[in-house]
Amino acid sequence: MAMKRVLIVNKTFPAAGLELLKNKVQYTVVPHLDFEPESLPTIKKELKNVDAIIWNTKHRLTGPLLDLAGPNLKCVSTMSSGTDHIDIHEFEKRQLPLGSTPQVLDDAVADITVGLVIAAARRFKEGVAELESGDCKFGVQWRLGQDIAGSTVGIVGFGGIGQAVLRRLRGFDVKRFLYSGRTDKPEAKALGAERLPIEELLRLSDYVILCCPLTEETRHLINDKTLGIMKQNAVIVNIARGDVIDQDALYRALKENRIFAAGLDVVTPEPIAKDHPLVQLPNCYILPHVGSATIETRNAMARISARNVLLALEGKPMLNPVI
């Protein structure tokens, strides 16, 4: 009996995932990175007649691409926590199993989040730039930043990542933790977090940390109006998705010093151009979307996505089903 065919759509898929697939399926790895012009055309070519797909790419997975795979397609797994790059409606319409890799990346992303909080609040970008240019102006008023101790931290989206961020920040003697979301989280009481409407959270918080999924409801959640609610000393950190923030509005708020600073691991587009206005701001510290980029985390994500498709091909529930 012929082996099932699995397509992996980006060449950076870790060997830890390939090892699980070996001798169980016939897999093909697209030999390109997302930004290479050959990437999407090659994916389209290789999609035909596959039984499963590991969608480890930022390209959007749409109905027409699923059509290219044809009737043999049994399942898809992302190698990501978020699914905003997937046309979920198409999967629901086709009753096609879809898996993802949440939770396994919570700790790595939470670590990066704390790093961004510190870097933005303590003006790392400006200090390093002056050091590298030989223009340091030492003195008691040089490059003063914001304290975390005694502050109010508001977390927008209180799932696994948001909770992991709070646990780390507790060691910084934060005075008050707030969170916003659709429902009360049962973990909140033990963690000492208080749920408030988003407007109230923004008004009270010294640090605003965005951990929410990107949906039509959260797209441009941070905009001219909501930035206007925030404190002038506020630091905003985004590890969710770039489009949760209206970047033009953020640029204006930072440029005019209406908020203190921003730390971003996600932007739109990615990668962001080196001459983008946000990149030029001294009070905007940007990382190239490295939240889950540790060896162990990426290996674990690869293993989960591989197991998702192997289980689905056997007619069993995925480890982390979305649909």
pLDDT (mean) for 122-138: 92
Per the residue annotation, which of 59, 85, 276, 289 is the catalytic one? 289
What is the band of 60 on the pLDDT scale with cuts at 50, 70, 90? very high
Residue 85 a catalytic site member: no
pLDDT score of 1? 57
The number of C-alpha atoms within 13 Å of 304 and in the hemisphere containing its C-beta is 22
Tell whether the model's pLDDT for residue 96 goes beyond 60: yes
Residues 6+ apart with CB under 8 A from 75: 51, 52, 53, 96, 97, 98, 99, 308, 309, 312, 313, 318
DSSP class per residue in 234-295: -EEEE-S-GGGB-HHHHHHHHHTTSSSEEEES--SSSSPPTT-HHHH-TTEEE--S-TT-SH
- In the chain the domains, ranked by start, together with CATH numbers, are 5-102+295-313 (3.40.50.720), 106-286 (3.40.50.720)
Residues 6+ apart with CB under 8 A from 247: 267, 268, 278
Proportion of the chain above pLDDT 70, given as a percent: 100
Q: Which amino acid is at 223?
A: N
Rounded to whole angstroms, how far apart are CA atoms 121 and 283?
9
Q: pLDDT tens, 216-230?
A: 999 999 999 999 999
pTM: 0.93
pLDDT score of 124? 97
pLDDT score of 143? 87
Q: Which amino acid is at 270?
A: E
Q: pLDDT tens, 283-319?
A: 999 999 999 999 999 999 999 999 999 999 999 999 9
Rounded to whole angstroms, how far apart are CA atoms 260 and 67?
48
